[in-house]
Copies of this chain bind each other. A is one copy, B any other.
Amino acid sequence: MKIKLAKSYGFCFGVKRAIKIAENSKDASTIGPLIHNNEEINRLKINFNVNTLKDESELKGIKKAIIRTHGITKNGLLALKNSNSEIINATCPFVTKPQKICEDISKEGYDVVIFGDKNHPEVKSVQSYAQNGATVVLTVDELKKFKLKERIAIVSQTTRKIEEYLKLIAYLVKNFKEVRVFNTICNATFENQNAAKELAIESDIMIVIGGKNSSNTKQLFSISKEYCKDSFLIENREELEKKWFKNKTLCGITAGASTPNWVIENIIGKISKIKV
């Protein structure tokens, strides 16, 4: 069986940067998981004693606190500033941007809409910067339930699919006088998604590697499945099942933006030993 990697996959700029920051912050604690990848979080714990707090309520006694790649809410930042911890900011710059847009644009009187998962930490952090709150939705049907003003501004969670974003935009343009659209989907997301689609089209089986709580990994999995029905999302090599590969000729591999290379290499190593 042939194994082929997507043209673009894995670690993005923001994750690489955050890991470097964490590695340089021995004995620090991150507020929530630094990135959505348990394997890498464990490695940082073992090699650098970087711990993971549940949230700001656990800050007491923490000397060095790292803000995760997904950012922190405005209130969370206030709690952090009021604690005695040294603050180390590993927020991805591509997340800082929609935070800033939300803050500025809501002051200008726009009704702010966020395309994203309302339970995702990145979205929560971005939403908290909208002065008068923001409407968070994933679909047009959800959006229809909200009463919005005439002037709308919309930002996207950095890891969403552009095609879905465009559906919301089309609905808004049809129904409101002014729609101010910010393309806050990050380039790495675009590139990994396009490469996943390209590879899935030619593959018999697709292995998508990444955290099951990782938004961008879930998007990659959804794209893969669209073009290759035998797609599987796994976090580590233990999850691989031999039967998946029966009668397959080409196995495509992609990985989320928070998946470290060593995890990918381990998985490829195991797949290459599978006899089909």
Contacts and interface: CB of A to CB of B under 8 A. Distances in A.
A86 to B, nearest CB: 34
Contact of A173 (B166, B174, B176, B177): B166
A166 B181 CA distance: 13
Interface in A172-217: 173-174, 176-183
Nearest to A190: B174
A173 B190 CA distance: 13
A180 B181 CA distance: 6
Interface in A139-162: 162
Given A166-B173, A169-B169, A173-B166, A179 B181 contact: yes
A165 B169 CA distance: 12
B178 A178 contact: no
Given A166-B174, A174-B183, A179-B181, 18 more contacts: A162-B173, A162-B174, A166-B170, A166-B173, A169-B169, A169-B170, A169-B173, A170-B170, A173-B181, A173-B183, A176-B183, A177-B182, A177-B183, A178-B181, A179-B180, A180-B180, A180-B181, A181-B181
Interface of A: 162, 165-166, 169-170, 173-174, 176-183
Cβ-closest 10 pairs across A and B: A179-B181, A180-B180, A166-B170, A173-B181, A178-B182, A173-B183, A177-B183, A162-B174, A169-B173, A181-B181
